[in-house]
């Protein structure tokens, strides 16, 4: 009788432990399933942007023409350096720098800045051997000054510094440098000097690889 009772207690204990193990296992599986379901529900679906884009801001394109003029002609006040310190206009005059020499130094000329008479004269001389005899205009230092005053030398900007309404370097006006000096070339539609400058319409934003700033 005693042995039978002992057997029943041991058997019951074993059954209890087995049931506990099964319960823990099922509970763990259920808990993991709940966790996976929760994570899946919390995953945010991909989207193209925020749900609330806010107040739309119109795209501003700016003033392209004004920006182009700044790039071509704005010196940011450096004409004081180029004229008063470097003395570029006086140097051009004293060295008797000709347009042909300026082209050899890598400077370029904006043909659209020339008046019709000068444009025709230059075009005629460019068809020659560019010798002083055959191309007197392009070998005259005075022509260089006129090109500067007409803002036809790309990147070298003449300013009406004395405020008299006209540009005359001999009467105190000044010359500065703009971004275009190093970052504008021409389309070479009128003339191109190998390893030097060119004459034509402006092409902004292109590097001027042939410019010799040391020589200038």
Q: What is the pLDDT of residues 66-93, one digit of tens each?
A: 999 999 999 999 999 999 999 999 999 9
Sheet with strand 109-110: strands edge to edge: 109-110, 198-200, 191-192
CA 125-214-193 angle, to 5 degrees, is: 25
At 72 the three-state DSSP class reads: helix
pTM beyond 0.95, yes or no: no
pLDDT tens-digit map of 30-57: 667 776 776 666 656 666 666 676 788 8
């Amino acid at each position: 009788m005693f042995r039978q009772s002992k057997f029943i207690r041991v058997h019951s204990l074993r059954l209890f432990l087995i049931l506990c193990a099964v319960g823990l296992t099922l509970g763990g599986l259920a808990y993991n399933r709940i966790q996976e379901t929760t994570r899946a529900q919390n995953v945010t679906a991909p989207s193209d942007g925020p749900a609330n884009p806010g107040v739309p801001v119109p795209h501003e394109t700016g003033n392209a023409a004004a920006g182009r003029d700044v790039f071509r002609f704005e010196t940011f006040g450096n004409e004081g350096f180029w004229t008063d310190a470097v003395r570029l206009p006086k140097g051009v005059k004293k060295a008797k720098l000709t347009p042909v020499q300026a082209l050899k130094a890598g400077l370029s000329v904006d043909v659209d800045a020339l008046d019709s008479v000068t444009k025709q004269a230059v075009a005629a001389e460019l068809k020659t051997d560019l010798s002083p005899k055959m191309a007197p205009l392009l070998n005259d230092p005075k022509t260089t000054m006129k090109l500067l005053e007409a803002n036809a030398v790309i990147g070298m900007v003449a300013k009406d510094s004395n405020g008299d309404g006209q540009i005359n370097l001999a009467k105190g006006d000044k010359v500065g440098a703009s971004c275009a000096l190093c970052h504008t070339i021409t389309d070479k539609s009128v003339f191109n000097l190998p390893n030097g400058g060119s004459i034509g319409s402006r092409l902004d934003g292109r590097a001027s690889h042939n410019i010799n700033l040391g020589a200038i």
